[in-house]
Amino acid sequence: MFQRLLFGLSHQKRIDGFARTWQTRAHRLLTANPGAKRAKDALNGTWLGHPLHPALTDVPIGAWTAALVVDLLDRRGTRAGRFASSVALGTGLAGAGLAALSGLADWSDVNRRQRPVGLVHALLNVAAVGAFGGSLWLRLRGSHSAGKALAVGGYTLASAGAFLGGHLVYTLGTQVDRNAWAREVDEFTPVMEQSDLPAGVLTRATLRGEPVLLYREGERIFALADTCAHAGCSLVSGRVEGGVLTCPCHGSAYRLDDGAVVHGPSPYPQPSFELRVRDGQIELRLASPGGRKRRAAFAEAAASPAAGYGSASSLEPVQP
Ligand code: FES
């Protein structure tokens, strides 16, 4: 029953038509100039390496839960109880503003199935904010019983909104790292003949079943996972400029060097690979985020040339 309702919501054409108009407007607003783009990156959580929205929603949900618990325990309506529940309501309302902005930043890049669900999720939360705002206003005017009743309504709306938020992430995969289930290859594994890799062309290869991307620039070669961490697009048709690879779908930009995020909406770095060339074959193994393992490989190679590691970005064949 629930599943049918949720499926229907994802495919509701009328709601989606409305949602698409507002998504386009939100996206334009959030990418209007470099300052807006920087703000959008921050709201997406690129600086955190994790979506910011779920962390921010804890503030209003926690504060409104606290207000409801105080209302429930303080049946006599003491001064301290009234003060505590009002402070909790106000805290929740302040936190909801930032949570809404980060949700808007994420929603401006979601796909067609996620878009109408995201819109209803947002509208439920806006209604909840209205109810909690009304509840606080009534309490400040001395109508505590009415304020308490309205807060229960607000909590019901916020819970329904949170349910849809969970559905957006756990069922529809919004802002889930698309490389979360990728196989981790720890041993150097051949992926392609060195001579088959053209310069200046993004080239796809396969590393034990996982698509990887190779890019040769002069004497350097870079290797990243091909599946964009944001929403799973193939990066092979992306654009490379100044050592940065931009995804063709929503514009997430990753450093070719180590997969670090330069611009969102992806908050997740793109998996990168250590590289060596043996017997004319390009071999890869997974590097840890930020290239720490890559640097370790450099150090190992420098300490012991006989170990057989090449520079992680050199095309020179390594003598065995
Ligand atoms: S899939 Fe969205 S930016 Fe790459």
Q: Which of 114, 139, 171 is the last residue of a domain?
A: 171
Q: Using CA atoms, how far apart are residues 172 and 179, in angstroms rounded to an integer? A: 15
Of 50, 169, 38, nearest to 107 (Cα)? 169
- Cβ-in-10-Å burial (0-12, 13-18, 19+) of 218 comes to exposed
Looking up tokens 């996206």 gives 27
As a three-state string, the secondary structure of 277-303 is: EECCEEEEEECCHHHHHHHHHHHHHHH
Residues 78 and 217 in one domain: no
**Ligand 1 centroid distance, CA of 270 (Å):** 11
**Ligand 1 centroid distance, CA of 238 (Å):** 10
Q: What is the mean pLDDT of residues 293-299?
A: 40
Question: Which of 27, 247, 268 has the most ligand 1 atoms within 8 A of CB, as the residue to mutate?
Answer: 247
Say whether pLDDT at 292 is over 80: no
Q: Using CA atoms, how far apart are residues 114 and 164, in angstroms rounded to an integer? A: 10
Question: In this structure, is residue 90 part of a structural domain?
Answer: yes
pLDDT digits (tens, 9 = 90+) for 188-223: 999 999 999 999 999 999 999 999 999 999 889 999
The residues lining ligand 1, judged by C-beta closer than 6 Å to any ligand atom, are: 228, 230-233, 247, 249-252, 265-266
Q: Quick one: which atom of ligand 1 is closest to the CA of 228?
A: 4
Q: Using CA atoms, how far apart are residues 167 and 160, in angstroms rounded to an integer? A: 11
Residues 193 and 166 in one domain: no
Residue type, 246: T
Question: In this structure, is residue 317 part of a structural domain?
Answer: no
Q: Which residue lies with its CA nearest to atom 1 of ligand 1? A: 231
Residues 51 and 117 in one domain: yes
Residues 13 and 158 in one domain: yes
- CATH number of residue 273's parent domain: 2.102.10.10
Residues 13 and 109 in one domain: yes
Q: Using CA atoms, how far apart are residues 205 and 226, in angstroms rounded to an integer? A: 9
Beta partners for residue 225, in sequence order: 212
Residues 124 and 25 in one domain: yes
Question: In this structure, is residue 135 part of a structural domain?
Answer: yes
**Ligand 1 centroid distance, CA of 250 (Å):** 5
Looking up tokens 């959580």 gives 45
Say whether pLDDT at 295 is over 80: no
Q: Which residue lies with its CA nearest to atom 2 of ligand 1? A: 250
Q: Quick one: which atom of ligand 1 is closest to the CA of 250?
A: 3
Question: In this structure, is residue 176 part of a structural domain?
Answer: no
Residues 225 and 89 in one domain: no
pLDDT digits (tens, 9 = 90+) for 62-86: 999 999 999 999 988 899 999 999 9
Residues 97 and 198 in one domain: no
Residues 171, 209: contact at Cβ < 8 Å?
A: no
Residues 165 and 201 in one domain: no
Question: In this structure, is residue 227 part of a structural domain?
Answer: yes
What confidence score (pLDDT) does residue 10 get?
Answer: 86
What confidence score (pLDDT) does residue 12 get?
Answer: 86
Question: In this structure, is residue 318 part of a structural domain?
Answer: no
Question: In this structure, is residue 124 part of a structural domain?
Answer: yes
Q: Quick one: which atom of ligand 1 is closest to the CA of 247?
A: 4
288: domain range?
189-307
- Structurally, the chain folds into a number of domains equal to 2
Q: Which of 138, 171, 204 is the last residue of a domain?
A: 171
**Ligand 1 centroid distance, CA of 230 (Å):** 5
**Ligand 1 centroid distance, CA of 177 (Å):** 11
Residues 21 and 132 in one domain: yes
Q: What is the mean pLDDT of the chain?
A: 88
Question: In this structure, is residue 220 part of a structural domain?
Answer: yes
Model confidence band, residue 290 (pLDDT cutoffs 50, 70, 90): low
Residues 166 and 32 in one domain: yes
